[in-house]
Amino acid sequence: MRFPSVPRPRSLAGQLFAMQAVLIAVVVAGYALFTYVSDRHQAQDAATRQATAVARSVADSPSVRAAIHTAHPSTELQPYALQVMRGTEVDFVTIMTPDGIRWTHPDETQIGKHYLGHIEAAQQGHTYSETYKGTLGASVRTVTPVEEKGRVIGLVSAGIKVEAISQRVQEQVTALLGVAASALLLGALGTYVVNARLRRHTHGMNAAELSHMHDYHQAALHAVREGLLMLDGQYRVALINDGGRELLGVGAEEDVVGRSVAELGLPAPLTGALLASGPRVDEVHLTADRVLVVNTSPVSGGERRGTVATLRDVTELQSLMGELDSERGFTQALRSQAHEAANRLHTVVSLIELGRAEEAVDFATAELELAQALTDQVVAAVSEPVLAALLLGKTAQANERGVELVVSDESRLDDGLLPESLSARDLVTVLGNLIDNAVDAAQGTVRARVTVTAYAEDAELVMRVTDTGAGVDPAHVELVFQRGFSTKPAGPGGRGLGLALVRQAVVRLDGTLTVTEAPEGGAVFEVRLPLRESLAGGEAR
């Protein structure tokens, strides 16, 4: 069984043609009726109605509204107004601004000048007709508003000369039919052009389909959790969804559409990625409190039309990766220690087999005392379990790389001192990355050494890491904290992220981070974190 097919709604161009045909037919019929049965006064009334119909049809034309929003309305409106004049037998069609400045006029020298006549009623949204002597002489004219969403965006005036009205009383029916046919032909031609242009821009979709597409578009934007940012050809924000506002720190009430991406206050590397002409794939960028993965793709259709950028929040993932790296380092250190312990155990066994039991006991006791002394030193200075475990693991790692890591005598950090606002993850991120950076700098130097100091002072947690490396060039003091900056060759996972993550965590915790030169050479990185939540930090959290 076949069901009858549902007819597609008439296209917008077809509706436009029908409207133009009806309006032209009404104008011609009214013109013929009142021209042949009325005297001069009645002919003026007919001319007024004709001018009103023409003015209203022009004011209701979608192409007129579209042209008004262009940068140079006269370029499109002047040819259109001349076509309407020729097709509807009016002596002038003047399209103007709400203040009465002409966009069109039969005499092009009058374009840009003030309209002669009364426009107060039209400015209030009413249609007004009068007989007035203007630049073309006395004429019967009508002024009507061009409205959009209840707002007057322009005015249209159509008029017929008084002397022309007298002549038209005597015109023949054949001339009237010729004018009607010409008007219909012009309407059909204009509709054909508009139809072709609309179909090209709407990909053949009619008004109902466009409405449904818009609804789907809006629903998809609000449903997607990832950030979506669309820029036009001038790198201005064309569209941003709720996820994009959250990830970029743009308030929901802040109007950013139409603003340049350079004005959003984003970090310089992230702004550079969004302004890049080429595509970017899975680039990691840091904001004040997030780690974002950015992908960009240019939109082109014969010319560059803009850029589409997607944003993913990997802050938690990056933090977990940092913890995983630390755990991997601990594992490697334990493996190395296990290997060293096996060597020492073989030495003890061999001494016993050689009959030197006393020397075996002395050797084992010395090794045990050395390991216990290291543990006691760290735990005595820093009894906070997270930091103590981190320092013990990093000490073993540094030793494997030929760097001595020591905890200074100034260090004193009791267990239970740190508030809940300072999470173990943040402490691992800050101190772990500072130590890794210091070990990298000190490795290969004479008497390579990294000194860690941690203590509480004036309601602040102070963590200071000093190395014996080459130090930090004063010109690079700010650059070392930017993502991607490093003085060492990049490895498989890239470099230049550790110190950037440190600064991000410190800023998030309302702390301070400084770098200075050590007295014996090398660099000193010092972090100060409040031990109680600041007012601003508490409100933000």
Residue length, the chain? 541
CA proximity to 432, closest of 398, 469, 390, 460: 390
pLDDT band at 491 (very low <50, low <70, confident <90, very high): very low
**106-127, pLDDT tens digit by residue?**
988 889 999 988 899 999 989 9
Predicted pLDDT of residue 142: 93
**Structure tokens given for 96:** 């103007």
Name the range with the highest mean pLDDT among 52-61, 334-343, 344-353: 52-61
pTM: 0.42
- Annotate 379-442 with DSSP letters as a single string: HHHB--HHHHHHHHHHHHHHHHTT-EEEE-TT-BB-TT-S-TTS-HHHHHHHHHHHHHHHHHHH
pLDDT beyond 60 at 520:
yes
Sheet holding 92-96: strands in order across? Answer: 92-96, 151-161, 137-148, 128-134
Predicted pLDDT of residue 340: 60
- C-alpha to C-alpha distance for 19 and 195, rounded to whole angstroms: 14
pLDDT beyond 60 at 387:
yes
Predicted pLDDT of residue 250: 76
Average pLDDT over residues 84-92: 88
pLDDT beyond 60 at 35:
no
pLDDT beyond 70 at 137:
yes
Residue 286, amino acid:
L
Residue 281, amino acid:
V
pLDDT band at 18 (very low <50, low <70, confident <90, very high): confident
The answer to whether the beta carbons of residues 193 and 76 sit under 8 Å apart is no
* Three-state DSSP state, 495: coil
Contacts of 61 (CB under 8 A, 6+ apart): none
Predicted pLDDT of residue 173: 57
